[in-house]
Chains A and B, each alone.
Chain A
Amino acid sequence: MMRADIDPEILKRELLEYHRRNCFKDANELLEFIEAYWKLRIPRARVCPEHPPPAEYIVDSFFEEVQDSVCWANRGGGKTLLGALATWLDTVFKKDCATKILGGSLEQSKKMYQHLTGGGDD
């Protein structure tokens, strides 16, 4: 029997290559890509007026709306994961980008490295 097979890994790779060539047209496209590629739904809604949502950190960091940023959130709130994601995005989509992990502890640095290499916790 003939089978038309769309391999999601091939599709993901093609999307990644497309965005490496053409970058992302806006924040929405970047977040769509992250959700499809990494299965990460980053909260976009601002719940408290004085608290920016996590998506804002990723978007502003990637599009270099800010040069330096401080992430202040609860323990287990995904700071290291988002940091790893921002680093991965820079490494993959920006030319001449090098990465150096400076963690608050060796454990945290290892955790970030694991997130970066796709081996972090869910």
Chain B
Amino acid sequence: MGKVDEANEKAMLAMSLRRQNMTVAQIALYLDVTERYAYSLLARARKLWGLLADSSDSKTRIGENLSALEEMERLALEKFAKANPNSNVAVAYLNAARDARKEIKRLQQEAGLITKVAEEINVTGLPLEKPEARAAAYIFLKTLNELNEKNDES
């Protein structure tokens, strides 16, 4: 990887951490760089985002944004895999990956690339007037009770 690419990646990661309300000192510690360099990384990231925003082709811009975010997610997951899983650094990498994924999803939804989907669905209004539905509900609840009992025993 070239020096420019490496600097850009670090800049994007620094920006992602800044968005998680980390201080510059924390970002510097996280990236193992000086605070001064962390400031310059953030400035670089702002310039990079500015370049993307200035692009006249919105599709290209969205594509570039997505690429940047996907790269950010990949990098964060890669670093997470190498970090001590019990350390705060690992948690921070995981959070960075999660945030990147959220941004990717949001961008895709806004661009109409994917249909907006619910984060969580609560199943209600089951047709309990049908005996089959009631039988299924009883089986489900009883199985759940049995599983809970087994968990309590172990």
Contact = CB atoms under 8 A, between A and B. Distances in A.
B20 interface: no
A6 B134 contact: no
Which applies to chain B's interface (DSSP): helix, strand, loop or mixed? mixed
Contacts of B122: 5-7, 10
A101 B69 CA distance: 66
B145 interface: yes
Interface stretch (A11-19, A59-67, A92-100): A11-19
Interface in B121-146: 121-126, 128-129, 134, 137-138, 140-142, 144-145
B121 A2 contact: yes
B41 to A, nearest CB: 31
A22 interface: yes
Contacts of A6: 122-123, 140
B1 interface: no
A8 B141 contact: yes
Contacts, number: 59
Interface string B59-83: 0000000000000000000000000
Interface string B19-40: 0000000000000000000000
Contact of A15 (B123, B125, B134): B134
Interface string A30-66: 0011011101000000000000000000000000000
B150 to A, nearest CB: 13
A63 B142 CA distance: 24
B153 interface: no
Contacts of B129: 18, 22
